[in-house]
Amino acid sequence: MSNLSILCISGPNLQLLGVREPSIYGTITLDEIHAALAGAAQALNADVVCRQSNHEGDIVTWIGEALGNHHGILINPGALTHTSIAIYDAIKAVAIPTVEVHLSNPDARESFRRRSRIAAACMARVAGFGDQSYQLALEGLLGALRRNVKNA
Ligand code: DQA
């Protein structure tokens, strides 16, 4: 691993960005978010690998496989944020600095979105900035990794 390498994981229903509740999530597609993230990573001398799955098991597997392959993880687990102890355990298991990302601000929405099962395994959370949340989280994570911030 020469450049810092970041794995970006998006969970259920995020493949529908662009058509999914645009008043909440905007009209940008996940492919466009991934392209913007790749550009931002290049400008910051980093590499980013972006993946999406609707299946919890895929996400758990990818987090496990990140060990030795990526320095940091950005994760928007979609609705699995609120339910998945398996993703929490996977992040704890690999101990790779991880930032929780959301387009919307879950705390300002339905009460069931206020509990994040993964937050306690993450070093930080970026939420509520729409598609920009991904890029802001990337900048924060790379900065923390380079400064050797505690938890990173
Ligand atoms: C989301 C917020 C979650 O509550 C929701 O289930 C999603 C998207 C977001 O990016 O704002 O699928 O993670």
CATH code of the domain covering residue 126? 3.40.50.9100
CB 138 within 8 A of CB 40: yes
The per-residue pLDDT for 151 is 66
- Model-level pTM? 0.96
Q: What is the pLDDT of residue 36?
A: 98
CA 69 to ligand 1 centroid distance, Å? 27
Nearest CA to ligand 1 atom 7: 78
**What's the pLDDT at 39?**
98
Atom of ligand 1 nearest to the CA of 11: 12
Q: Structural domain of residue 133, as residue ranges?
A: 4-151
53 touches ligand 1 (CB under 6 Å): no
Sheet holding 98-102, edge to edge: 46-52, 4-10, 72-76, 98-102, 124-127
Could you tell me the distance, in angstroms and rounded to a whole number, from the CA of residue 48 to the centre of ligand 1?
Answer: 21
Average pLDDT of the residues in 50-71: 98
Task: Determine the Cα–Cα distance for residues 2 and 75; give it in Å rounded to an integer.
Answer: 22
**DSSP label at residue 53:** -
By alpha-carbon position, which residue is closest to atom 1 of ligand 1? 78
Query: Quick check: CB of 81 below 6 Å from ligand 1?
Result: yes
Q: How far apart are CA 66 and CA 120, in angstroms?
A: 19
The count of domains in the chain is: 1
- Tokens, residue 18: 């662009």
User: What is the percentage of the chain residues whose pLDDT exceeds 90?
Assistant: 95
